[in-house]
Chain A
């Protein structure tokens, strides 16, 4: 057998990956389109806890609801997310508790609802895909937007 140099072997690998496993053009187009989801007037509420990353979650049989908590300086958005039979359902709680306009966005559409006086809301029939929740609340109509999450 003939051995080739490491550099030559590396070049063969580079050519192989480029020829046989290029980034799919549809994925590139989706990545470019992701720029359209830029929010200018909403403050990001970052993920602060996720039941999926706590120990033991993966060993529970069945699919228990996933608990996600997002927060920024003004509001905490707690979500219970359930995926069943191809659709997702969100139950939410705002704190401080307050009424608010709720927008749930996903790739290809959105849904609106309202949080009640004690900050509760719910939306079902959502796609099991990337979702985020935009909350508009308070006298200044401050907008907060969760990071994207997937049920």
Chain B
């Protein structure tokens, strides 16, 4: 597969459009990137940015903190580019790394603030300060859904963020991002969506 074709596709339709998974070959892109091919790297970034961002946002990090986790995850991949040979594991590796970086950032933050504020920053907690959710555009069209979503448990918010990232992650990637077995993704998804339905109904 030519990496040029990948790069063009990434440039023209990056992220927001749905890049067909079959057209992206992670193993080929990894190999080309490890040999110094910037366009192959750009294609990897294009393919997995949505997943990495969803993991960071799943921890209810404010936009600057989510951007920091996002950047850290890609720096880690540059460091370990030669270590990952099997492209089918790349998405799960990135999801796991993003999760670790989100937790590391929360540890750093809790260290630089007075202890009284730690509950607010540590893992999203129960007290959601308004700043934690900033950076969202929150269009009118989705305002009711955002409100209902914001009332879900932390674990449901994290799960739905990842499952409905774009492009849709595989079960293996979802499992890595959320630390739950592949077998419980379906039932948990159903439970979280049902809770969301109830919240939407109550807010209507």
Contact = CB atoms under 8 A, between A and B. Distances in A.
Interface residues of A, number: 43
Interface stretch (B73-81, B85-93, B123-131, B170-178): B73-81
Contacts of A40: 36
A13 B145 contact: yes
A148 B163 CA distance: 29
The SS class assigned to the B binding surface is helix
A26 B71 CA distance: 10
Contact of A31 (B70, B138, B168): B70
Nearest to A146: B79
A13 B160 contact: yes
Nearest to A13: B164
A10 B72 contact: no
Interface string A114-146: 000000000000000010000000000000000
A21 B70 CA distance: 14
B45 A28 contact: yes
Q: Which of B111, B161, B200 has the most CB of A within 10 A?
A: B111
A98 to B, nearest CB: 24
Contacts of A21: 53, 57, 135-137
Interface in A10-56: 10, 12-24, 26-28, 30-32, 34-35, 37-38, 40, 44, 52-53
Contacts of A101: none
B38 interface: yes
A37 B78 contact: yes
Contact of B201 (A1, A17, A27): A1
A63 B113 CA distance: 9
Nearest to A24: B67
A148 B137 contact: no
A147 interface: yes
Given A1-B201, A18-B16, A63 B145 contact: no
A53 B36 contact: no
Interface string A71-115: 000000000000100000000000000000000000000000000
Interface in B49-89: 49-50, 53-54, 57, 63, 67-68, 70-72, 74-81
A28 B204 CA distance: 37
A14 B17 CA distance: 12
Nearest to A35: B41
Interface in B129-148: 135-139, 141-142, 145-146
A63 B50 CA distance: 34
Nearest to B67: A27
B111 A147 contact: no
Contact of A10 (B38, B77, B112, B163): B163
27 contacts: A6-B194, A12-B142, A12-B145, A13-B196, A17-B54, A17-B161, A17-B164, A19-B142, A20-B139, A21-B135, A24-B63, A27-B49, A27-B70, A28-B46, A30-B67, A30-B74, A31-B71, A34-B77, A35-B41, A35-B78, A40-B36, A58-B107, A83-B112, A148-B75, A148-B76, A148-B79, A150-B108
Interface of A: 1, 3-4, 6, 9-10, 12-24, 26-28, 30-32, 34-35, 37-38, 40, 44, 52-53, 57-59, 61, 63, 83, 130, 147-148, 150
